[in-house]
Amino acid sequence: MEEMNKTFIFGHKNPDTDSICSSVVMANLRAKLGENVEAVRLGELNKETQFAFKHFNIEPPRLIDKVQPGSDVIMVDHNEFSQSAEGIENANIKMLVDHHRISDFKTKEPVFCFAEPVGSTGTILYKLYNMNNVDIDKKTASLMLSSIASDTLLFKSPTCTEEDKRIAKKLEEIAGVDINEYGLEMLKAGTDLSDVEEEDLINLDAKEFNVDGIKFVIAQINTVSIDDVLKRQEKIENAMSNKIKEDKLDLFLFTITDILNGDSEFIALGDRTDLVDKSYKLEDNRAFAKGVVSRKKQILPMVTKNID
């Protein structure tokens, strides 16, 4: 019975650090406002996120696989139902806090929605604490910093705004953490993919899209050495080919992002590799994309532009 009155707070499937941290940060806020809430997650913690929670000695959220009809939920760091929990269509969405475009989202009643085009959901949650006059404690500040460091790739991503930088400075003081030092450690922890099988590697941070009937996946991994990852190109391509067949994809675009230099290497397979090739000439199924790090701001717009 208690579970029925509890509001579940979660980010997107294939959760990244911003999704996990933001669900905990939002849960801390709602709890301080006297609400019965629990942060949960819709998938496994990646190594970067594991590092962050271990570093600050914070318990990560519990895994759930779906939401029950009529249960109360708060969505953070995503709004598209296709990226959300199974059963989201029949849940009672009470709030949304996000920094993505709005699409494939609706509510039955008027609810609180706050979205801004900033680098991380953590940045918006900082403002929400202020709006509610709730103090940000040290652990909460550490999680917000982790959100910002992760989603902006330490301020290198084109999605990063002056707001993210300004708020990160304030959070550094509260948390007593140097974001450049801690953030680099965290990002590097996320790049240790040596023990991840290629089948899992291509799904670690994969998002599926459907534009004008063209079904494609853009996956992204972070590294400190593109060359190291490219040693596994053959096995990665095999895994991609299997995925394309299984899911009837028109394109699988695997992106290897060099977080130290802020560049990416693409590996593209499928019938519609022309959607990449028009912008970046593919050779041996690969292309180097200088200055490209953001799926949302750079890679997805490139593919959709080439569809038009």
* Structural element, H or E, at residue 251: strand 251-258
- Amino acid residing at 19: S
Return the number of the residue (116 or 185) whose C-beta is nearest its own copies. 116
Instruction: Report d(CA 201, CA 254) in Å as an integer.
Output: 10
Tell me the H-state helices in 36-161: 47-55, 121-131, 138-151
Told to check if 209 binds its own copies by CB under 8 A, we report no
Return the number of the residue (151 or 237) whose C-beta is nearest its own copies. 151
Told to check if 113 binds its own copies by CB under 8 A, we report yes
Return the number of the residue (54 or 101) whose C-beta is nearest its own copies. 101
Told to check if 106 binds its own copies by CB under 8 A, we report yes
Told to check if 69 binds its own copies by CB under 8 A, we report no
CB 199 within 8 A of CB 239: yes
Told to check if 103 binds its own copies by CB under 8 A, we report yes
Sign of CA dihedral 190, 194, 195, 196: positive
Residue of the chain from 32, 55, 139, 296 that contacts its own copies (CB under 8 A): 296
**From the CB of 304, what's the least distance to its own copies, in Å?**
9
Return the number of the residue (56 or 105) whose C-beta is nearest its own copies. 105
**If phi over 0 gives left and psi between -120 and 50 gives alpha, with beta otherwise, what is residue 57?**
left
* One-character DSSP codes across 113-140: EEE-SSS-HHHHHHHHHHHTT-PPPHHH
Q: How many CA atoms lie within 13 A of 201 on its CB side?
A: 25
Return the number of the residue (116 or 172) whose C-beta is nearest its own copies. 116
Instruction: Report d(CA 242, CA 252) in Å as an integer.
Output: 10
Pattern of binders to its own copies over 119-158, x per CB under 8 A? --------x---x---------------------------
Of the candidate spans 56-64, 100-108, 217-225, 262-270, the one that interacts with its own copies by CB under 8 A turns out to be: 100-108
Residue of the chain from 112, 137, 192, 261 that contacts its own copies (CB under 8 A): 112
Largest CA distance in the chain: 59
Return the number of the residue (99 or 243) whose C-beta is nearest its own copies. 99
Site residue total, its own copies (CB under 8 A) = 23
Told to check if 115 binds its own copies by CB under 8 A, we report yes
Return the number of the residue (37 or 95) whose C-beta is nearest its own copies. 95
CB atoms within 10 A of CB 251: 22
Binding residues for its own copies (CB under 8 A) = 96, 99-117, 127, 131, 296
